[in-house]
Each structure stands twice: as structure tokens, then as C-alpha cells.
Amino acid sequence: MSNHSRAARRDRTHFLYIAVIAAVAAGIAVGLLAPAFAVELKPLGEAFVALIKMMIQPVIFCTIVLGVGSVRSAARVGKVGGLALGYFVAMSTAALAIGLLVGNVLHPGSGLSITEETASAGAEQAAGVEHTSTTDVLLGIIPDSMLSALTSGEVLQTLLVALLVGFALQAMGRTGEPVLRGVGHVQRLVFRVLGMVMWAAPIGAFGAIAGVVGETGVEALKSLAVLMLGFYATCALFVFVVLGVLLKVTTGINLFALLRYLGREFLLIVSTSSSETALPRLIAKMEHAGVDKSTVGVVVPTGYSFNLDGTAIYLTMASLFIASAMGDPLSLGEQVSLLLFMMIASKGAAGVTGAGMATLAGGLSSHRPDLVDGVGLIVGIDRFMSECRAVTNFAGNAVATVLIGTWTGGLDRSQLDRVLAGDDPFDETTMVDDHGAPPAEEDEKEAGTRAPALV
């Protein structure tokens, strides 16, 4: 396949993302003009997110098995994983601290009073939250069977089984190579299917935006503007100052160049309000940008469960907002205790719409049951905060992948520079850099060359 024909295929995908922007605008218009009809469109957005989530576990399984199975030393994977977890804890703590600082300066919620209507809404929201202990969470990582880990919907279960399979193939040496080649073919298939699913993005974006605007309208946002703007500003502060400075000082990479490379993923997240919709694409794009398979395979899926910076900021500010609005502000000791609990409780809530509110209600019911009814105060704007939450989570995981790749020697810096400069564009159609080679030839090439993307 010539470079010209590949470029032409990529050009056609530009229309897809223009259609997503148009769909968002149309969804807002329908939500404002015909709110009752717009609410009926919500299932369109839910269906698209469900289609993407359907692809996540196969993508993670193939990526980790190929990444771990092709690395000669198990210690390298352990080093990447240990460094990643340490980094995630540090960043979550920083996000909580910034949220606390801004929340205590702005005092969001002061002057508001809760009504019976919002109290009942909050009670209903909290009623559906399941409270699980740390032991239950840890035991929940172990699937009922190896195969059920691919169908359970639990990312951490898939991560565990994929690591075990990858280490087993690593130990098998050359006899495991046919299995690795087979997984490579399956991965190509999975990304082809994902490419087909992506063409439903405009429909999903239209339904999702129309539904939420139809439900909340404009009036519902006015009284909560301080919290929303404060939250947006805090997330921007964290991404552009904390992450941007860390990335520049550590690697010399410009944060804006990295975010521009991931622009289409951010558009998807904003239109669907879930960072999970971009997870498979983040894996593909990070490998294309020069981060090796084992680093991407460990850092990205783990980050989606343990590196939720936006969720940490949200839990901080929402808790302070509810306590102030109900006339019973949290003392500093209560703030620290509650938020440490929430930092642990939020692990595993992988950026799905509504997961942050469920964690918020669960944390308040465990520490300050008298504040649970206040969750109803933010029901109206949670969807809009969810978008910012998901974008921040995604940016944090993208930066984490580059940083950990740099620290562990798993980053091809020259390839990253070419990609960020626009000299080596990502193949939007296949999300796989086959370079026109048939599968058999590509498999032979894999042994001697580094594949710049998923192969």
C-alpha cells in the first residue's frame, strides 16, 4: 500500500471528528429547544460508551501479553509496575492537596441551603452505592476463571490474568513465540473492530449531550457556577502547572505538543463524558509515539484504575461544597480523614460517568452520614464536572506513560519527537502501523525491528 493511499485513508477520518463536533452542537440545540425529546436520546450515548467498553478488555489483554511476553527479564516489568504505583500515589496526593487548598480558599457552597427535593435526590443516589471493604476490593481482582477475566468488565481482573499469561510466555522462550504471533493477529483484529465502532461516535455524542442538556437545562447550572468554575480552574492548574512543569523539567517535552497529539481523544472524552472511550486509542497512540509495549501495557490500564487525578480533585471540592452548603463545614482533621478514605475508595472507578458521584456518596455515608443527602445538590452539574474529571484523568495517564517510559528506558525519544512534530502521523483507520506488509512478512520483521505502534 502506498503512502499516498494511507494518507487518503487518514484524511477521511477527519470528517468523522468534524461530525462529532457538529453532533455536540446539535445535541446542545436539541436539549435546549426540546428537552423532553432530548432526554429520550440518552440511550444513544450510553450505547456508544458500551460499545467502546466492550473493546477495552481485549485491547488490554493483547497489549499486556505482547508487551510482557516479549520482554526477556521479568524484573523490568516489575520495575515499571512498582515505579508506576509509586508515581500514582504521589500524583493522587498532590491532586487532593490542590483540591483542598482551592476548596478552602473559594469556600464553594457557602450561602446555599439544601432543599427537601435535593435531599431526597441525594438519598436516592446514595442508596444505590455498595460499600465494600479493602479486602473485598483485593479479592475482587481475582476472576472466577481465566477466561471470565476477559468478559467480566473488571479491568484489574484482565490486568492480572494478562500479566500471568505474559510471564508464562516469557518463561516458555522460543516455544511461546507462536502464541505471541497469534495474540498479535488477534490484536490487529480487535483494533480493526474498534476502528469500525468509532464511526458511531457522532451518534453517541449527539445522544449524550442532548440528554444531559435536556435534563439539566441552563437554570440548573447558575447557582452552582462557583463550584464548576472553581473545579475547572483547579483541574487546569493541576494539568498545566503540576503535570506540565514535571514533564518539561523531567523530559524536556512540551505538554501542549503531547496534548495536541491526543486532541481527538480529548474530543471523544468531552462528548461522551467518559475517559474509558479513549483508553484503547491511548494505548495505540502511546506505542506509536515510541513508548515500548511493556511500559504501555502496564502503565495505561493500571493508571485507569489508580491514577485518577481529576476524580481526586472532584471528591475534595465536592465534599467541601456539600459540607458548606449544609451549614456544617468540615474541620481540617475531618477533611484529611475523609479524603484519604476517598483516595483509596476511588481506585478502580475507571473514569466511568457517575462513578465519582457514587464514590462521593459512599465516602460521606461512611464518615459523615449527615452529609449524604447533600449529594443531591450536585446531581444537576455532576455530568458537566464529569467531563472535566475525565479529561484530567486522561491527561494524567498520558503524561504518566511518557514519564515512566523515560525513567525506565522504555521510550524511543527520536520517535516521540517525530510524532509530536507531525512527521510520523498516526494511522487513524487501522490504529496499527502495518506499513502495507502482509501479516506473515510483518511477523518476520517484528523479531528484528521495533514496531512504532501496535503490531
Provide, rounded to the nearest whole percent, the portion of the chain with pLDDT above 70. Answer: 71
What's the chain's average pLDDT? 74
Question: What's the one-letter identity of residue 169?
Answer: L
Backbone dihedral angles phi then psi of residue 301, each to the nearest 5 degrees: -65, -40
Lookup result for grid cell 435536556: 214
Confirm if 181 and 18 have CB atoms less than 8 A apart.
no
Backbone dihedral angles phi then psi of residue 386, each to the nearest 5 degrees: -60, -35
- Cα–Cα nearest to 162, from 283, 47, 52, 309: 283
What local confidence, expressed as pLDDT, does residue 243 receive? 92
DSSP-assigned beta bridge partners for residue 411:
291
CA distances 56 to 150, 153, 159, 267, Å, are 9, 9, 11, 18
26 Cβ contact list (under 8 Å, min separation 6): 206, 210
Cell digits for 379?
A: 446531581
CA distances 291 to 84, 140, 381, Å, are 14, 30, 37
pLDDT tens sequence across 120-174: 444 444 444 444 555 766 777 788 888 887 777 777 788 788 888 888 888 887 8
What local confidence, expressed as pLDDT, does residue 246 receive? 92
Taken in order of first residue, the domains within the chain and their CATH numbers are 55-185+218-446 (1.10.3860.10)
pLDDT tens sequence across 365-374: 666 777 776 6
- Cα–Cα nearest to 307, from 405, 392, 411: 392
pLDDT tens sequence across 213-222: 777 666 555 5
CA distances 146 to 161, 172, 265, Å, are 6, 19, 31
- Cα–Cα nearest to 376, from 128, 120, 130, 110: 120
**pLDDT reading at 208 higher than 70:** yes
More confident residue, 453 or 263: 263
Question: What's the one-letter identity of residue 265?
Answer: E
pLDDT tens sequence across 327-357: 677 777 777 777 777 666 555 444 444 556 6
pTM: 0.70
